[in-house]
Structure 1
Amino acid sequence: MPRLTRIANAYLSIDVSPLGAEMQSITTSDGADWLWNGDAAFWTGRSPVLFPIVGKAPDDTLLIDGQSYPMAQHGFARRQEFSLETASATACRFVLEASAQTRAVYPFDFRLSVEHSLDGPALTVSAAVENLGAEPMPFGVGFHPAFRWPLPGADGRPHSIVLGNGAEPERQPLEMGLLSREREPSPFAKGRLVLAQSLFDNDALIFPQGAGECLTYAAEGGPSLAFRFEALPNLALWTKPGAPFLCIEPWHGTAAEHDGSRELKDRPHTNVLAAGESQRFAFTVTFPA
């Protein structure tokens, strides 16, 4: 297991691994654990960072300017060793830069900086993407944190997701891991979705637009987590059948569309950074104080 970096304050303690710059635990001052523990019986992930794609590519192959490159689901960053650039009591930043290994599958000079920082009972996780090359750089980026379901101390209570904008965004289903061109009616009613395992019988719930910039994940009469998103317009919710976690996934970029273009730049919601440009993406989650 790689050496973990711990940041902490009076409210929260966070452990982050250099492998994928991935959080391994979130603990509040009362000793409660809020992040999924990575039990291999269900899913070994805990909070992976997704880059340079979100979701799946057809046959795990991307086209970039007509050239084919192998690319596994959610990209390679989550399986790469990051370097710890800075660390303080309440913040740490890990960095991944392009290498011969990454250029073989993604021919761009990039710098991906992932920072975890604490401010009272709030945790912010950000990803800054920089194009260090001379050509426009297409990419997708996203976050995949898995939180306990049920939340600590809320066994047996109904849980829900409530969108801050009160919307009822359409769902875009998956076909063999790729986005269907069809849309399905929203499972939200006036911005509220009561969670049930059966919602995920056909894979993740994906809302390509309209979910807004904030939501609450809460147990009825129990604890709640408040989320805010920055430059992350797409939302997915996911769990494995029977697993005791819920992934709340804000993205900028999605899986390729079924029977759609294989070109990375044509994937829905793909970013394209000009040479020398950078962009920041982040989510903040506030825990019970």
Structure 2
Amino acid sequence: MTDNLTRIQSSDLSMTITDLGAEAQSLRTADGRELLWHGDAKWWGGRAPVLFPIVGRAPDNRIAVGGFQAEMAQHGFARRSVFTLEENGPGMCRHVLRDTEATRAVYPFSFALRITHRLEGLELTVSAEVENCSDVEMPFGFGFHPAFRWPLPGCDGQPHEVVLDNGGEPEMARLEGGLLSESLLPSPFHGGRLELRPEQFAEDAMVFPEGAGTGLRYGMAGGAQLAFRFENLPNLALWSKPGAPFLCIEPWHGMAARVGASHQISERPYSQTLAPGGVARFSWSVEVRL
């Protein structure tokens, strides 16, 4: 294990990223305001994990690829793996995770997973590239899981909201024992707007399989906000714990297995299958408006 940190900065933001999971540890404005959740294990020890090769839980914590089966914890192994710093400049860094004997024992593929963090002015962009280095098709799911302060800096005691750029009212799914329920519930969004309340997370995450669009804003109405854009990430989840001072805004391409479904990765909702030599790309960005 390692806690080696890489620091990058722009004129307006700075951040640190650890080799463990290529996970962001801090995102600060030039005047020192911290935007990212600090990972207090009292609530949740994560900060911004990368989810690969599955998103969410597998039935009995076991995955399958054809006749191959293995144990795999929720959200896969990338978040607990040590990445290698591949490139580093003043405003960017790129980490890579390649398959090892340990990964092939639970996921029988040769792959490269690259995570790039880039700062420019008041904007952060996090991008991922999944490459299938095997000579067979490779099924997988991928997602981001960043957590931000709730309330945002300087916004204590003020109501916060999530507003979808598309004005949509996407239907919501809930998790049952970490697996995706078959039933869809009415949208908690009204005209694209959701006022956040701690009790909304009493039943775990709010999952929106489709219809949430490619962008949203999080923060105070008429006040401090973070503006997000998503690329090739059609699924969205919002997650916290009741009373916890963070909100996870999670764009995914792939979700937990459905209740009663098989262990096959390829059968999970929104899983992808890469041809040999194929590359898939995903990214999210956030503009700070404080």
1:28 counterpart letter in structure 2 = T
**Matched residue, 1:118:** 119
Paired residue for 1:41?
42
- Cα deviation for residue 220 of structure 1 reads 2.8
1:168 is matched with which residue? 169
Unmatched segments (≥5 aa) in structure 1: none
Partner of 1:95: 96
Equivalent pair of 2:96/2:114 in contact (CA under 8 Å): yes
Q: How does 1:13-162 map to 2 (within 5 A)?
A: 13-162=14-163
Deviation at 1:279, TM superposition (A): 1.1
Runs of 4+ residues deviating >4 angstroms: none
CA distance in 2, matches of 1:34, 1:224: 11
1:180-203 deviation line (CA, Å, top 9, x unaligned) = 100100000010000000111100
Q: Contact 1:153–1:222 at 8 Å: present in 2 too?
A: no
Letter in 1 for 2:219: A
Q: Residue type matched to 1:41 in 2? A: K
Look up the equivalent residue of 1:98 and give its one-letter code.
D
> Which stretch has the larger CA shift, 220-229 or 73-82?
220-229
Question: Is the Cα–Cα contact under 8 Å of residues 8 and 89 in structure 1 kept in the other structure?
Answer: yes
1:184-263 to 2 correspondence within 5 Å?
Answer: 184-263=185-264
Name whichever of 265-274 and 61-70 sits farther off: 61-70
* Offset from partner CA, 1:231-251 (integer Å, 9 cap, x none): 000000000222100000000
User: Quick one: distance in 1 between partners of 2:265 and 2:222?
Assistant: 44
**Aligned-pair CA distance for 1:118:** 1.0
Q: Secondary structure at the match of 2:289?
A: coil
Structure 2 letter corresponding to 1:180 = S
> Deviations 1:162-216 (Å, cap 9, x if unpaired)?
0000000000111111001001000000100000001111000000000000000
Does residue 279 of structure 1 match 2:275? no
Q: Is the Cα–Cα contact under 8 Å of residues 254 and 269 in structure 1 kept in the other structure?
A: yes
C-alpha separation in 2, matches of 1:218 and 1:39 = 21
Distance 1:168 1:5 in 2: 39
Task: Tell me what 1:288 maps to.
Answer: 289
Q: Is contact 2:59-2:262 (8 Å) kept?
A: no
**Stretch of structure 1 that moved more, 159-168 or 220-229:** 220-229
Q: How many residues align?
A: 289
Q: Is the 8 A contact 2:160 2:219 kept in 1?
A: yes
Native 8 Å contact 2:11 2:120 kept in 1: no
- The 1-side partners of 2:87 and 2:17 are apart by 13
Q: Is the 8 A contact 2:254 2:270 kept in 1?
A: yes
Tell me the amino acid that sits aligned with residue 7 of structure 1. Answer: I
Tell me by how many angstroms 1:126 deviates: 0.7
Contact 2:228–2:285 under 8 Å retained in 1: yes
Instruction: Tell me, in whole angstroms, the C-alpha distance in 2 between the residues paired with 1:92 and 1:288.
Output: 23
Q: TM-score, normalised by structure 1?
A: 0.99
- Output the amino acid matched with 1:112: L
Percent identity, aligned pairs only, is 56
SS at match of 2:11: coil
| Cα shift at 1:147 | 0.1
Deviation at 1:66, TM superposition (A): 2.6
SS at match of 2:281: strand
AA partner of residue 104 (structure 2): R
Return the alpha-carbon distance in structure 2 between the equivalents of residues 116 and 229 of structure 1: 14
Distance 1:73 1:83 in 2: 23
Instruction: Tell whether the 8 Å contact from 1:214 to 1:226 is kept in structure 2 after alignment.
Output: yes
